[in-house]
């Protein structure tokens, strides 16, 4: 997939105010407010900005942290991880590899088999449900 690049104005037109604040300005939604907070979905979660597939609902778990949590990305190339030294601490930021949208952070306190917890903002995601058979 070719990298999606748009101007600030184009992103503002495409996204809601909250999606723009989180995805393009590296904001965070309030905990326990997101649509996908509970692991009760079936399908694949895509980037709300560019549509790239990011996380499989089968990899979601209830971390109790207030944000959707996954133990792995859909593919190794779906997301990019960067060191984030904001807020006076060091964390690992997760961005969409298709458009550099801020998604959330990854922490080393998740379940097996990876031990990772991808803590992702709901507003950064769009669920594509499993088609009915």
State pTM to two decimals.
0.93
Q: Convert the pLDDT of each residue in 52-104 to its tens digit.
A: 999 999 999 999 999 999 999 999 999 999 998 887 888 999 999 999 999 99
Q: Is 4 within 8 Å of 24 (Cβ atoms)? A: no
Angle at 55 (CA atoms; ends 62, 84), nearest 5 degrees: 80
Q: What pLDDT, on the 0 to 100 scale, is given for residue 122?
A: 97
Q: Which of 58, 129, 132, 54 minimizes the C-alpha distance to 96?
A: 54
DSSP strands (E only) in the chain: 43-47, 53-56, 60-61, 69-70, 79-84, 91-96, 102-107, 117-120, 125-129
Fold adopted by 8-129: 2.170.150
Domain positions in the chain are: 8-129
Q: How far apart are the first and last CA of the chain?
A: 29
Euclidean distance between CA atoms 105 and 117, whole angstroms: 8
The one catalytic residue among 23, 49, 96, 119: 119
Catalytic-residue membership of 37? no
């Amino acid at each position: 997939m070719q990298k999606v690049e748009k101007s600030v104005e184009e992103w503002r037109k495409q996204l809601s105010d909250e999606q723009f604040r989180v995805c393009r300005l590296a904001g965070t939604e309030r905990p326990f407010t997101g649509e996908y907070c509970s692991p009760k979905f079936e399908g694949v979660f895509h980037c709300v900005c560019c549509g790239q597939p990011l996380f499989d609902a089968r990899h979601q778990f209830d971390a109790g942290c207030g944000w959707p949590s996954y133990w792995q990305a859909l593919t190794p190339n779906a997301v990019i991880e960067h060191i984030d030294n904001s807020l006076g601490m060091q964390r690992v930021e997760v961005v969409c590899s298709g458009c550099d949208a801020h998604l959330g952070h990854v922490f080393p306190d998740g379940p097996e088999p990876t031990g990772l917890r991808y803590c992702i903002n709901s507003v950064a995601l769009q669920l594509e449900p499993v088609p009915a058979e």
